Amino acid sequence: MTIQFNNETFRDDYSFRNSDWAIKRFPFPFHEDSYMYSVNMEQHRGGPEGSVYEKRFDVDEHYLSEMQDRAIVLAEDPLRCQSLPHMTLAGWDTLELIMVSKSEDYPELFELHRDGNRWRWVNKPMKIDHTFTFLDETTLPCGPLEYITRQTQGDFAVLDQRDEMLWMDAGMVTTQADWSLDFDIGMNFFEWHAPVPLAHEMGIFKRALKFLLNVQQGAPARRLNWTMTVNPLLDTSPENYHKWGIQKTTLTPENIGAKQHLRVELQTFFRLPRSNALLFPIRCYLIAFQDIVTVPKWGRRLHRVVRDLPEELATYKGFIANRPVMLDYLSQYDDGLPTSPGVWPDLETEPPLAK
């Protein structure tokens, strides 16, 4: 299908909206009526047609607006994109992976023409037509990682692998759930996960690290993570907490359906071939509560998950104070009927709301 790109904002007047198409393909993260951490990895090799899992790098109706928002963030804070000196090759790896994937997966939007190291990249939605020399930084307007991730939705952490450990040595991070690349740069896997509650005691990170060190070329993996965001903000960074944190106090029973968003990250993991680094794209999808509850199964389930979530997790995810008002709203959409297993909306088979 042809994607109609929205003209919308993720700040100030918050004109961000999901179309019916975007609501139905939203990556709802709860496969059952409760939630606890797990290393919920699966292979990233496609998925049902039209779903966000189908392509290696999903492009949707928010593409152009998300790229404009990224440009605004970078203009105000260039340290959102960093690459330690030894990570340049991994940046080229990232550029190659994305250009090859997008041109193969979306031939009507992106083209890549290669003649040896002479490459021509055409990005039709962004009106870019650029010829450069692969592996020669002087032929790009900025580093290869910055160049391609200014044209690709989602944040990108590029992890060097050394001494049986992963190191946060490069990245492009402008749509993050309250973490900072500038703070984490150069840290190892356990260091940058130190603030997460409960999971360390559960041995989650040891198992996750072991899995990630073994992600091999040609066999990418994926998982989902989630949190809550008031107003459709992409940039919920610690650097700008003074701007967005206060907005969490503006929720009322009247505005919660429009203002409160479920924020889901589709995290994928690719072994980069030339550098042996690990690319960790973190793609953020936002959906307003009033849109989630148009899918009866999701309305029922979200109420149960939010209600039963352990207090530590609700605190860490930053919505403990708003949980009562969220539950008041969501309980209207939970009639107590059972829900079908799995993440899909099941609109044809699940009963409509019975209250």
Partner 1 sequence: MSAAPQKAKAGAEKIAVTVSAVVPLNDLVTRFEFKRTDGAEFPPFSAGAHTVVEMQDGDRTRLNPYSLMSDPADRSIYAISVRRDDQGRGGSLFMHQKVKVGDAMTLTYPVNLFSLDLRAKKHVFFAGGIGITPFKAMIAQLEQSNGNWELHYACRTPALGTYADELTNAYPNKVHVYYDDQNQVIPLEDLLDGQPLGTHVYVCGPTGMIDWVHATAAAHGWPSENVHSEEFLAPQPGKPFEVRLCQSDITIQVGEHESLLEAMERCGVDAPFLCRGGACGQCETDVVEAEGDFVHRDHWLDDEDHASGKKIMPCVSRFVGKTLVLDR
Active site members = 223
Give the residue, chosen from 15, 34, 36, 45, that forms a contact with partner 1 under the rule CB under 8 A.
45
Query: Is 24 exposed, middle or buried, given 0-12, 13-18 or 19+ CB atoms closer than 10 A?
Result: middle
Q: Does 255 bind partner 1 (CB under 8 A)?
A: no
- DSSP assignment of 177-245 equals BS--HHHHTT-BHHHHTTT-TTTTTTTHHHHHHHHHHT--TT--EEEEEEEEEESS-S-B-GGGHHHHG
Identity of the residue, 15 or 217, whose beta carbon is nearer to partner 1 in the bound complex? 217
CA distance 193 to 164: 17
Min dist CB 274 to partner 1, Å, is: 5
Segment near partner 1 (CB under 8 A), from 36-44, 146-154, 286-294, 329-337? 36-44
Q: Does 138 bind partner 1 (CB under 8 A)?
A: no
Q: Does 268 bind partner 1 (CB under 8 A)?
A: no
Segment near partner 1 (CB under 8 A), from 47-55, 66-74, 138-146, 237-245? 47-55
Min dist CB 222 to partner 1, Å, is: 8
Q: Does 224 bind partner 1 (CB under 8 A)?
A: yes
Q: Does 133 bind partner 1 (CB under 8 A)?
A: no
Give the residue, chosen from 8, 58, 60, 96, that forms a contact with partner 1 under the rule CB under 8 A.
96
Asked if residue 93 lies in contact with residue 276, where contact means CB atoms within 8 angstroms, the answer is no
Residues 299-338: x where in contact with partner 1 by CB under 8 A, - otherwise, as a string: ----------------------------------------
- DSSP assignment of 47-65 equals -STTSTTSSSS---TTHHH
- DSSP assignment of 18-52 equals --HHHHHT-----SSS--------EE-S--STTST
Segment near partner 1 (CB under 8 A), from 83-91, 120-128, 254-262, 297-305? 83-91
Tell me, what amino acid is at 86? H
- DSSP assignment of 257-306 equals HHHEEEEEEEEEEEE-TTT--EEEEEEEEEEEHHHHTTSHHHHHHHHHHH
Min dist CB 96 to partner 1, Å, is: 8
Residue whose C-alpha is closest to residue 32's, from 352, 346, 343: 343
CA 245 to chain CA centroid, Å, is: 20
Give the residue, chosen from 58, 66, 146, 160, that forms a contact with partner 1 under the rule CB under 8 A.
160
Scan residues 183-222 and list those touching partner 1 (CB under 8 A).
210, 214, 216-219, 222
Q: Does 162 bind partner 1 (CB under 8 A)?
A: yes
Min dist CB 71 to partner 1, Å, is: 29
CA distance 23 to 28: 10
Q: Does 342 bind partner 1 (CB under 8 A)?
A: yes
CA distance 161 to 170: 12
Q: Does 139 bind partner 1 (CB under 8 A)?
A: no
List interacting residues with partner 1 (CB under 8 A). 27, 29, 31, 40, 42-43, 45-48, 51, 53, 85-87, 89, 93, 96, 135, 160-163, 210, 214, 216-219, 222-224, 273-276, 342-343
